[in-house]
A and B are shown apart, each in its own frame.
Chain A
Amino acid sequence: MRHEKYFSLKNLTFLIIIIALIFFPYVADSRTLTILMTQIFIFSILAMSYDILLGYTGIVSFGHAMFFGIGAYTTAILLSTYNNTMMIFLISIIVGMIFAGIVSFLVGLLTLRLKSHFFAMLTLAISGLFLVVAEKWRTVTKGNDGFTFRAPDVFRDRVIFYFFVLVCLVVVFLVLRRFVNSPLGKVLIAVRENEQRTRSLGFRTLHYKVTASVVAGVVASLSGSLYAISLRFVNTSVMSMDITLDALLMTIIGGVGTLIGPIVGSLVIETAQHYLSGLANDYPIFERWIIFFGMLYILAVIFFPKGIVGTVYVKYLTWKSKKAKPQLPTQSVPLVKDKERFE
């Protein structure tokens, strides 16, 4: 169905961006900026995984932090228990992914048959449960105080870690792009648009939703592992609601239902967070920068439900169709249709 040219404008743009990112640490000769970019990549991975649920399948989960936390804790615990070699790190990523996959499979199987409200509440409760476990199981997690550990020696150089995360980001992006463009991904979009109709076409929507949840959980676990390495410290905050909220904000502001959107959202939010908290010394109001994002987010939900990328894309499509011939954009499917008021 998709006949994409390898040297289309889209792919060329990606290539240019990636090349620019490869040279970034050498051009911007600042440690802080490299660390900031690494952070942006890590949260991009998390937000993309969240978008598989929110943007592509149309389910709101408030429990995404638990998969992030599972990844972060697995890596931290394995690296501090055994030695800090690259091998153990890679194993810990795999173990975290497997563990997150199992958890998301079980949780999804139990909860995804429920309606959206109940699902959101139950995921909130289950991730709260994980947070409590992380806090109480002090022998392993050291509770709220957390613990430090030694990252693999290779990653002592921030630039190398930057490249490692960049590679992860590109790989995850390509894999997820393949995933959402596969027939399976198309069914997920159908579930988002109208679950009942999809079911009446003979698809077992529960299976597809569980698959989406497992994929999202596994990818979130990867971002958690990377996050733990970037801080070389882990405490219960990796399981907290704030992580889910971050992913949610990035996805909504960047653009739901696209894979670029979460990356843009992560770029916007992490950069703004970095500079606004810098401004807080002069203007105390910026200490509460999250207010601006909360408001921006509310406005985005009401007026731009497609986010930055979605809005730009629709503008681009209408511009192109106006230039060529009057024709409605067929590619862009809105996340949520305006349903009848009382359904």
Chain B
Amino acid sequence: MDLFISLFINGLATGMLIFLLAAGLTLIFGLMDVLNFAHGGLFVWGAYSGIFVYTWSGSFIVGILGAIVTGFVLGWITEKLIITPVYGNHVQQILITLGFMLVLSECIKVVFGPNSIPVDVPSYLAGSWEIGEVIVIKYRIFIIVIGLVIFGIFQYVLKKTKIGLIVRAGVMDKEMVQVLGINIKRVFLFVFMTGSAMAAFGGMLMAPYSGVIYAEMGMEYAILGFIVVVIGGMGSFSGSLMAAILVGLAGSFMAYYVPYLSLAVNMILMAIVLIFRPQGLFTNAKEG
């Protein structure tokens, strides 16, 4: 039982990290109809710049802020330079964002060096609690709480505020929103920057969790993010949380019980979903 609980917490924490990555992807896709293959690059830039600020300032909170700022800035650059010229053209979007991903992850190696960097958990989050037989690592609980808080904030913004209303309306019908006199380009930019900042934030939280950061992890996590977006349904925010938890749990349990299948299980899951239910598991057919 204690094994089950620790695997469960482990999977949940991983799921929350993937959720931070996938939520941005799914919103960007739902609103802008852009599949951002460079999202993993933003994730890894968040991790590296956040850790850089963290070691420089000594404060984990400042490091997180640094990562979020990097995410916003890179999101702005990406939207303005890379996405704007190719709106509405899927093939070019796929090609260009993949190229940008390449540039981002190579730039990491130029700026921060090609070697992987070890990262420590800040002292007040290190260690673990013992509840009966179960050992609960503090940092994982921290990630789960943060993930749920972020989900709550975004749910609130999407459902209760004006900008959230515009975004949700934009996902349903872009032309109509434009007809009603809203500058949808500004909304696009806002959503893109927020999504990028979330990815960068996820990368920063990821760094102490895995204990080491390296330039290639962007692509690895981006693939997980895509899988989550597909399973959860493109453009569905709450669907991406459910799917991320599903993927995280599947990965954690499979890694323990059937280790050689752990990497394959998510891809098989995604292939099955794409073939039989391409609109995603957690969306109504109407929305998809």
Q: Is A338 an interface residue (CB 8 A)?
A: yes
Contact A116 B102 (CB under 8 A): no
Of A122, A129, A245, A294, which contacts B100 at CB under 8 A? A294
Residues of B within 8 A of A341 (CB): 87-88
Q: Does B103 contact A (CB under 8 A)?
A: yes
Chain B positions within 8 Å of A22 at CB level: none
In the complex, whether B267 has a CB less than 8 A from a CB of chain A is yes
Known A-B contacts A294-B102, A301-B86; A125 and B96 likewise in contact (beta carbons under 8 Å): no
Complexed CA–CA distance, A301 and B91 (Å): 10
CB–CB A298/B89 < 8 A: no
State the interface size on chain B (CB cutoff 8 A): 43
Can you offer 20 A-B residue contacts whose CB atoms are under 8 A?
A59-B91, A60-B95, A62-B98, A116-B94, A118-B230, A118-B274, A118-B278, A121-B226, A121-B230, A124-B223, A126-B267, A129-B268, A136-B260, A298-B96, A301-B86, A301-B99, A338-B89, A339-B88, A339-B89, A342-B88
Q: Report A-chain residues with C-beta under 8 Å of the C-beta of B90.
A: 115-117
Interface band, chain A:
35 or more
**Contact across chains for B271 and A301 when beta carbons are under 8 A apart:** no
Nearest A residue (CB) for B35: A117
Query: CB of A285 within 8 A of chain B?
Result: yes
Q: How far is the CA of A126 from the CA of B86 in the complex (A)?
A: 27
Cβ-closest chain B residue relative to A122 = B274
Is B96 a contact partner of A302 (Cβ separation < 8 A)?
A: yes
Q: Is the CB of A301 within 8 A of B106?
A: no
- B178 and chain A: residue at smallest CB distance: A342
The verdict on A252 contacting chain B, using a C-beta distance below 8 Å, is: yes
A297 interface residue per 8 A CB criterion: yes
- In angstroms, Cα B278 to Cα A110, docked, is 12
Q: Does A108 contact B (CB under 8 A)?
A: no
Contact residues in A for B91 (Cβ distance below 8 Å): 54, 58-60, 116, 335-336
A261 smallest CB distance to B (angstroms): 14
Query: In the complex where A114-B278, A132-B264, A336-B89 touch, is A342 in contact with B223 (Cβ < 8 A)?
Result: no
Taking a contact as CB atoms under 8 Å apart, the answer to whether B94 and A129 are in contact is no
Residue in B99, B100, B103 with the greatest tally of chain A CB atoms within 10 Å:
B99
Contacts between chains A and B (CB distance < 8 A), count: 111
Q: How far is the CA of A58 from the CA of B271 in the complex (A)?
A: 22
In the assembled complex, which residues on chain B have CB atoms less than 8 Å from the CB atom of A241?
Answer: 219
Contacts of A117 in B (CB 8 A): 29, 35, 90, 94, 234
Most buried by B among A122, A125, A290, A335: A125
Q: Which residues of chain A are within 8 angstroms of B226 by Cβ–Cβ distance?
A: 121, 124-125
B110 within 8 A of A: yes
A305 is an interface residue with CB less than 8 A from chain B = yes
Contact of A298 with B99 at beta-carbon distance under 8 Å, contacts A116-B91, A129-B264, A129-B267 already known:
yes
Q: Contact between A295 and B260 (Cβ–Cβ < 8 Å)?
A: no
Mask of A128-143 contacts with B, CB within 8 angstroms, 1/0: 1100110010000000
Are B95 and A248 interface neighbours, CB within 8 A?
yes
Q: Is B82 an interface residue (CB 8 A)?
A: yes
Instruction: Kindly state the separation between the CA atoms of A338 and B87 in the bound complex, as whole angstroms.
Output: 9
Q: Is B89 a contact of A291 with CB atoms below 8 Å?
A: no
Contacts of A295 in B (CB 8 A): 103
Q: Which of B92, B219, B227, B263 contacts A132 (CB 8 A)?
A: B263
A4 interfacial contact with B, CB 8 Å:
no
Chain B residue with the shortest CB-CB distance to A342: B174
A288 close to chain B: CB less than 8 A: yes
Name the distance in Å between B151's Cβ and chain A's nearest Cβ: 24
Shortest CB distance A108–B (Å): 13
Q: Which of B86, B94, B219 contacts A302 (CB 8 A)?
A: B86
A168 CA to B226 CA, complexed, in Å? 38
B113 CB to closest chain A CB, in angstroms? Answer: 11
Smallest CB–CB gap between B48 and chain A, Å?
Answer: 15
Nearest B residue to A293 via CB reads B102
Q: Which of B269-283 contact A (CB under 8 A)?
A: 270-271, 274-275, 278
A339 to B95 Cα, complex, angstroms: 17
Which residues of chain B in 222-237 are interfacial with respect to chain A, using CB atoms and an 8 Å cutoff?
223, 226-227, 230, 234
**10 other A-B residue contacts (CB within 8 Å) besides A116-B90, A342-B33:** A121-B226, A121-B230, A125-B223, A126-B267, A132-B263, A294-B100, A301-B96, A341-B87, A342-B88, A342-B175
A245/B86 contact (C-beta < 8 A), A122-B270, A291-B107 known: no
Chain A residues contacting B127 (CB-CB under 8 Å) are: none
| Given the contacts A114-B278, A301-B96, A341-B87, A294 and B106 also touching, CB distance less than 8 Å | yes
Check if A297 sits within 8 Å of B174, measured CB to CB: no
Asked if B122 lies at the interface with its beta carbon under 8 angstroms from chain A, I say no
User: When the two chains form their complex, are residues A298 and B103 in contact, meaning their CB atoms are under 8 A apart?
Assistant: yes
Interface residues of A in 217-252 (CB under 8 A from B): 241, 245, 248, 252
Chain B proximity mask over A101-125: 1 for CB below 8 Å, otherwise 0: 0000000001100111110111011
Q: With the chains together, A62 CA to B35 CA distance in Å? A: 14
CA distance A109 to B188 in the complex (A): 35
The proximity string for A residues 300-343 relative to B, scoring 1 for CB distances below 8 Å and 0 otherwise, is: 01100100000000000000000000000000000110111111
> What are the 10 A-B residue pairs with the smallest beta carbon separation, nearest first?
A294-B103, A294-B102, A125-B267, A297-B99, A117-B35, A116-B90, A301-B96, A291-B106, A298-B99, A132-B263
> B85 within 8 Å of A by Cβ?
yes
Q: Which residues of A contact B35 (CB under 8 A)?
A: 117, 120-121
- Complex Cα distance, B175 from A282, in Å, reads 55
Chain A 244-264, CB within 8 Å of chain B: the 1/0 string? 010010001000000000000
Residue from the list A126, A245, A343 in contact with B271, Cβ < 8 A:
A126
Q: Which residue of A lies closest to B87 (CB)?
A: A341
| B109 on the A face (CB < 8 A) | yes
Q: Closest chain B residue to A290 by CB distance? A: B106
**A339's closest neighbor in chain B, by CB?**
B88
